[in-house]
Amino acid sequence: MERKHIEFIQSQSLYWTRGPDGIELKVLSEEAATGDRAALIRYPAGWQDNREDSLSAEEFFVLDGQLDIGGESFRRNYFGFLPERTGEARTSESGALVLSFRFASGDPDGRSEPLRIDTAAMPWDVTVLDGKLTHLRLARKILRLGPNDSGRTYLLAGLPHGVPQVPDMPQETHPHAEEMFMIHGEMKSPQGIMTTGAYFYRPGGILHGPHVSEFGFLMFMRQPGSNRVITEWSERRAPLPIDAAFAPRSAFELPEAWRTPHPVRPVY
C-alpha cells in the first residue's frame, strides 16, 4: 500500500495536534494501516521520553532547535536515520522542530545502518544535471540510499531566476514516488506557488510540472521506490506556470483550511 497523492499543501495551514506524550504533531501524509507517515513534530523545551517498546525506522531532519537521541545530538540542519529498534532515550532541552518520516512497521527498506549527518557541512554536488532542468541551476546533497533500490533521500537546491525565457516546457513522469518539503524558498507549479513549508507526496505515474523558480529554493526530497531519478519527458509542452492560482491536487478530499490560498510573498 502507498500513501495518497497530495500536491501540494502549505504546512502552515494545518493545525497542531497534541500527542499523549506531550509532543505536537502535524501529519503531512499517512498510510494509517501500516504507520508509514510524514509529519512535522514539535518537541517542547525540557522534553524527555524513555521508550522500551519496538519503534519503526525513521528518517528525520531538524528544522530548528536540538534533539538528543541515545546520547547523540541532532541540531538544526542535521539529518538522521534510525533503523527499526527496541527502546530509545529521546530528549530535547531547548525544544525542537523536526521533519519526520516514519517507516511502516517491519518495512525492510528501513533496515540499514543508522546515520547522523550535519548536512550544512556537506559539499554540494553540482555535477549531475538533467538537460531539461538546467534552468533551475540545481545542486544536491545525497543523505541516504535505501537498501535494495528502495529510495533516495537528498537535499535539492536551485538558484533564483530559474525561469527560462520560453512560453512552454515538457512535463515529467516517474515510475517512483516523489516527496518534498520546502525548507526555504519558492517554486512555481501549475498547482500554485510553493513557498517555505510547502509539502507534497506524489506517487509514481503522475504527469507533473513544469516547475520554475523565481527566488530559488532549498528542498528536502525523498524518492520512495528508486535510488535514482527515472524521468520520462512528455512530447506535449505545457505553459510555464507563472503565478498560477493555488489549486492543490489530491487523491482524497482536503480539509478547507488546506485548500485556502496562502501568502506567497513576504508581508512588509
Binding site for Fe ion (CB under 5 A): 172
Least distance (Å) between residue 267 CB and Fe ion:
30
Q: Name the residue nearer to Fe ion (CB basis): 172 or 186.
A: 172
Amino acid at 174: H
Per-state percent for the chain, helix, strand, coil, to nearest 5: 10, 50, 40
Q: CA-CA distance, 75 to 54, in Å (whole number)?
A: 25
What phi and psi values does residue 66 have, to the nearest 5 degrees?
Answer: -145, 140
Q: Name the residue nearer to Fe ion (CB basis): 62 or 180.
A: 180
Q: Name the residue nearer to Fe ion (CB basis): 58 or 172.
A: 172
Q: Name the residue nearer to Fe ion (CB basis): 150 or 171.
A: 171
CB closest to Fe ion, residue no: 172
Q: Name the residue nearer to Fe ion (CB basis): 106 or 239.
A: 239
**Tally: H helices and E strands in the chain:** 1, 20
Q: Is 265 exposed, middle or buried (0-12, 13-18, 19+ CB in 10 A)?
A: exposed
Cβ partners under 8 Å of residue 209, min gap 6: 169, 170, 171, 172, 189, 190, 238
Least distance (Å) between residue 206 CB and Fe ion:
9
Amino acid at 60: F
Least distance (Å) between residue 202 CB and Fe ion:
7
Least distance (Å) between residue 9 CB and Fe ion:
17
β-partners of residue 192 are 189
Least distance (Å) between residue 208 CB and Fe ion:
6
